[in-house]
A and B are shown apart, each in its own frame.
Chain A
Amino acid sequence: MNASLAENLLDVRAISISFGGLSAVKDFSLALPPRALYGLIGPNGAGKTTVFNLLTAVYQPDQGSVHVCGRQINGLKTFQIAHAGLARTFQNIRLFGELSVLDNVRMGAQMREPHGLTTTVLRTGGYVATERHIDAWAREMLRIMGLSHRETEQAKHLPYGDQRRLEIARALATQPKVLLLDEPAAGMNPREKVELMELIRFIRDKFEVAILLIEHDMNLVMRICEQITVLDHGETIAVGTPANIQCHPKVIEAYLGEPV
């Protein structure tokens, strides 16, 4: 096996996809070492969420390959990719609205300890023990995300910021190697955003995951990401540290237009 593949938790090599004649993402590459905090930015319609959808097999890439911990995952189904260690949140929040906050996180927690129909119906001793374990792990996630006081509420009744945090809790409960956050700060107020930044760093350090995030709040991205990739019209126009990106002429052009 290639050494660099094994070192990086996530290794994306020149993936492309086009819808009809439109090239949505072209030759996108990315490598996330352990504990990376990586930003993916770009103007609206640049293809950021499409990249997430390619990584999690909502779409299959036309070309290129994706590896998680050295294992090739493109070609696998969405649920298999989750088992391989890639967890995500969604830009347009996708919680299990009718279920309780605790049940939402339990859904993530039970991925590593699945049950069959028979043990469930017979309620065997082993079954009861794992259900307890799932429960404890889910509550721990809620505690970390500061949602413990809301655990019995229906997810759809949470305020927007809490829903975003709940999505992160659910993703984290699957014990991922790589966490993909799609606009985690969208709809949050400035104070919540500052808290979220702290939280993202804390998650990275505590669970030793690599985090890739899409975010429109430049202040947040520049302050917490160590590396940034900028997309425009599906093409990677710049890669570098926040300081480099901020004064990169192509980035300024993509966001503000060409100088007159």
Chain B
Amino acid sequence: MPRALAPLLLGGVIALILHLVVQPAVGGFGSNLILFAGINIILAVSLTVVNGFTGQFSIGHAGFMALGGYTAAALMYYGSFKIYGNANFHGGALSWTGRVGGFSGPWMGSGDLLFVIACLAGGIVAAAAGWIVGLPSLRLRGDYLAIVTLGFGEIARVILQGTDAQLRRSQLDAIRSASPLQLMNKLGGALGFIGIPPYTTVFWVYVWVAIMLIVAIRLKRSSYGRALLSIREDEIAAQAVGINNTRYKVRAFVLSSFFAGVAGALYSLQIGSINAGELGFQRSFEILIMVVLGGLGSVTGAALAAIILTALPEVLRFVDQYRMIVYSLLLIVMMIVRPQGLFGVREVWDLMRRRRRQVTGGDA
């Protein structure tokens, strides 16, 4: 068991270093980039499990992100009011977002527990939605999943935008007396959900990045992951060697939705607000581009593509108003030069090993 947990420990240490050493060094703007890159890694890698491993085409990932984000936001915001009577910050150093330093609180505050619960709850709600969406549509082969997930993403957005106005600080009594079920419908509607105490920090994001990467890589190298890959290759042959296609596809989809929900939770608890209008199909396609750019089925490829595509718009700021044009041109060139994506289905270490073999082969 300790051996199984070692990579997680390593991930935690890296997250701590990013939080305590790198973050103060790169300043507020840089740490925001690191944060969003991390959230995008979780989104891209989780979508890789469905689109890359299992070969099912899902294009509603932002919908799961929105569900997770709103769940966490509501839990954190209304939960804080119910517990503390206000929505102020009650976290410790690991959740301290004021990057100027000088925070002398404990590592974990009382609010951090609520934060961890909110992240998990966001994931669980998204996973449940994934199960409901996946169960009927994954029984079918072909493009049905794409259509259903696209529809789901839009339905989630419209429902969230149709919720009632958010209860504010001045309505503390109303918040206190409302049942959780009533609060579920007070999510701010088209204005979005605002004023959420921000708890997400570099540390928490990268702990989740580590969990996501460990899960995805272990899955890919296992017999379970091999079964998912075999479904992508040939569904009939997979069934002929005893694979229950529907069950595997649904489980992969639920797992993917869970992490999309967690990413949504980290996102809303970082910027302190969430608006379903920004989490429409356009956001889904951004995530999909990361997966395709990294190479369908490559975990490290998707992660690298997520980092590149998070940084690229910032790097391209010097071309000013032509930024988005250059961005799209770069994507087009990439698809022409490397249609299989950065790494294809391989991982970064596969490519390194191969290069080494080629080099030694050339010497001999």
Contacts and interface: CB of A to CB of B under 8 A. Distances in A.
Partners in one complex: yes
B226 A82 contact: no
B240 to A, nearest CB: 6
A208 B247 CA distance: 32
Nearest to B229: A99
A238 interface: no
A147 interface: no
A134 interface: yes
Nearest to B224: A120
B282 interface: no
A205 to B, nearest CB: 23
A247 interface: no
A103 interface: yes
B218 interface: yes
B242 A79 contact: yes
B233 A96 contact: yes
Q: Which of A79, A95, A106, A130 has the most CB of B within 10 A?
A: A79
Nearest to A131: B223
B239 A82 contact: yes
A214 interface: no
A123 B237 CA distance: 27
A83 B222 contact: no
A172 B215 CA distance: 31
A182 B355 CA distance: 40
Given A56-B240, A82-B240, A87-B240, A110 B233 contact: no
Given A78-B240, A79-B245, A174-B241, A106 B218 contact: no
B224 A96 contact: no
Nearest to A57: B239
B255 interface: yes
A137 to B, nearest CB: 12
Interface stretch (A20-28, A111-119, A228-236): A111-119
Given A110-B226, A123-B4, A79 B218 contact: no
B341 interface: no
Interface string B1-19: 1011000000000000000
B240 A115 contact: no
A96 B251 contact: no
B224 A98 contact: no
B345 interface: yes
Nearest to A122: B4
Contact of B236 (A58, A99, A115, A123): A58
Contacts of B239: 77-79, 82
Given A115-B224, A120-B225, A107 B230 contact: yes
Given A56-B240, A120-B224, A95 B218 contact: no
A124 interface: yes
Interface in A213-240: none
B242 A82 contact: yes
Contacts of A117: 219, 224, 251, 255
A117 B218 CA distance: 10
Interface in B211-228: 214-215, 218-219, 222-227
Contacts of B232: 98
B170 to A, nearest CB: 46
B234 A96 contact: yes
A99 B226 contact: yes
Q: Which of B242, B245, B345 has the most CB of A within 10 A?
A: B242
B223 A115 contact: yes
Contacts of A184: none
B254 to A, nearest CB: 9
B88 interface: no
B237 A108 contact: no
B229 A111 contact: no
B243 A96 contact: no
A96 B227 CA distance: 10
Given A131-B223, A134-B223, A96 B242 contact: no
Contacts of B225: 120
A170 B218 contact: no
Q: Which of A95, A107, A174 has the most CB of B within 10 A?
A: A107
A98 B345 contact: yes
A170 B218 CA distance: 23
Nearest to B225: A120
A121 interface: yes
B110 interface: no
A130 B223 CA distance: 10
Q: Which of A95, A106, A123 has the most CB of B within 10 A?
A: A123
Contacts of B223: 106, 110, 113-115, 120, 130-131, 134
B222 A115 contact: yes
25 contacts: A78-B239, A79-B244, A90-B236, A90-B240, A96-B237, A97-B233, A97-B234, A98-B232, A99-B226, A99-B233, A103-B226, A103-B229, A108-B241, A111-B243, A115-B223, A116-B224, A117-B255, A121-B215, A123-B4, A124-B1, A124-B4, A130-B223, A171-B241, A173-B241, A174-B241
By Cβ-Cβ distance, the 4 closest A-B pairs, closest first, are A111-B242, A96-B233, A82-B242, A94-B237
Interface of A: 56, 58, 77-79, 82-83, 87-88, 90, 94-99, 103, 106-108, 110-111, 113-117, 120-125, 127, 130-131, 134, 170-171, 173-174
